[in-house]
Amino acid sequence: MRAIQIAELEGPHAARLVDVDEPAAGDDLVVVDVHAAGVAFPDALQSRGLYQHKPPLPYTPGAEVAGVVRSAPEDAHVRPGDRVAGLTMLCGAMAEVVALQPNRVFKLPDSVSFEAGAGLLFNDLTVHFALRTRGRLSDGETVLVHGAAGGIGTSALRLAPAFGASRTIAVVGSEDKADVARAAGASDVVLADGFKDAVKDLTDDRGVDIVVDPVGGDRFTDSLRSLAPGGRLLVIGFTGGEIPTVKVNRLLLNNIDAVGVGWGAWTFTHPDYLQEQWAELEPLLASGAVPAPEPVVFPLERAGDAIASLEDRTARGKVVVTVR
Ligand SMILES: NC(=O)c1ccc[n+]([C@@H]2O[C@H](COP(=O)([O-])OP(=O)(O)OC[C@H]3O[C@@H](n4cnc5c(N)ncnc54)[C@H](OP(=O)(O)O)[C@@H]3O)[C@@H](O)[C@H]2O)c1
């Protein structure tokens, strides 16, 4: 089969299209003919050996796919011919065939294309975990979203209203990304530079109830300052590079929480959780209450460029590669 491989940890452009054997399909795995694969920030970090999960070399990048089931165990919830999305957790997706654990395979609604399907699991399930399980989002709350034109960011903007948020404020690094955040549903868009004062103005000094933070770095303290009493800052990632530190007196003085969101780790200790999440998300996607993502699509042979677009910040919304 055709697959992308990274043999040296020299960054996204080390990605090569090669021919390799199809994965061994154990009796207990679902084999999927892949149509599209998602690209996420960990793919960029992994290509430089900077992510916590370090696959042996050479490896095939990509954590999520959409495609058609080729074969499935007798007792699985999917059958050959079903359109599905699936999680490889955390590599192997950019290939024509994958073999997945059944609990990491999800039937796609007919209305969701393979490209959209390949681009929704990783972010939407993380954001669902962040807003619902860890962030305890309630009806009528206001959500501030950093990295709002990125994968996690656009997912948070699409999902927050369906989970009860009455307002979403998007934070983007440059003007040219504002349209992406608006198209994903942002009520307001502000620039990262000076976002604290803009949020103060927009909320009449009250602040927001939740901050979705996949960026970290030097804006972290201003994010804490932007929370209303009882507010929660959801720590999702550090695309800004630096891992910030918290002076915990800020939490005490303002009655706010800094909340860790480690979705992958949670799924390993809660094996039924992924399917429970999908049971909540799938009807929202099928009914259109949550719009499917509209990813930027690269052909498989340009997987290196696709991954690099996250690293060099030129990506707009979710990025996927088409495989067949
Ligand atoms: N905790 C979890 O369970 C979990 C699950 C999935 C992903 N994540 C993490 O979430 C983060 C976001 O992933 P993603 O796939 O959404 O990435 P993405 O699509 O590349 O979006 C990240 C955003 O970060 C902003 N950013 C600020 N400084 C940046 C810098 N120096 N380099 C690159 N981007 C920068 C960019 O927005 P502007 O240019 O507008 O500032 C960009 O749109 C990653 O750290 C990823 O590992 C965590």
pLDDT grade for 25, boundaries at 50, 70 and 90: confident
Query: Using a 6 Å cutoff on CB, does residue 239 contact ligand 1?
Result: yes
Average pLDDT for residues 192-210, to the nearest whole number?
98
Element housing 196 (H / E): helix 195-202
pLDDT grade for 114, boundaries at 50, 70 and 90: very high
Query: Using a 6 Å cutoff on CB, does residue 173 contact ligand 1?
Result: yes
Strands (E), the chain: 2-6, 15-19, 30-39, 64-71, 83-87, 97-100, 105-107, 142-145, 167-172, 188-191, 208-213, 227-235, 257-260, 296-299, 319-322
pLDDT grade for 258, boundaries at 50, 70 and 90: very high
Does residue 24 carry a pLDDT above 90? no
Q: Ligand 1 centre from 22 Cα, in Å?
A: 31
Query: Using a 6 Å cutoff on CB, does residue 90 contact ligand 1?
Result: no
pLDDT grade for 181, boundaries at 50, 70 and 90: very high
Q: Quote the CA–CA distance of 142 and 165 in Å, as a whole number.
A: 6
Q: Ligand 1 centre from 76 Cα, in Å?
A: 34
Note the pTM of the prediction, 2 decimals: 0.98
Does residue 26 carry a pLDDT above 90? no
Q: Quote the CA–CA distance of 268 and 248 in Å, as a whole number.
A: 29
pLDDT grade for 31, boundaries at 50, 70 and 90: very high
Query: Using a 6 Å cutoff on CB, does residue 236 contact ligand 1?
Result: yes
Q: What integer best gives the mean pLDDT of the chain?
A: 97
Domains and CATH numbers, the chain: 2-120+293-322 (3.90.180.10), 123-264 (3.40.50.720)
Angle between helices 121-128 and 151-159 (to 10 degrees): 60
Query: Using a 6 Å cutoff on CB, does residue 171 contact ligand 1?
Result: no
Average pLDDT for residues 89-99, to the nearest whole number?
96
Q: Ligand 1 centre from 66 Cα, in Å?
A: 22
Read off the tokens for 48.
Answer: 């430089």
| Rounded percentage of the chain residues whose pLDDT exceeds 90 | 97
Q: Ligand 1 centre from 159 Cα, in Å?
A: 17
DSSP states of 63-94 as a string? SEEEEEEEE--TTSS--TT-EEEEE-SSS--S
Read off the tokens for 25.
Answer: 């399909």
CA 265, chain centre distance (Å): 15
Average pLDDT for residues 298-315, to the nearest whole number?
98
Query: Using a 6 Å cutoff on CB, does residue 149 contact ligand 1?
Result: yes
Average pLDDT for residues 30-36, to the nearest whole number?
98
Query: Using a 6 Å cutoff on CB, does residue 216 contact ligand 1?
Result: no
pLDDT grade for 244, boundaries at 50, 70 and 90: very high
Average pLDDT for residues 28-45, to the nearest whole number?
97
pLDDT grade for 145, boundaries at 50, 70 and 90: very high
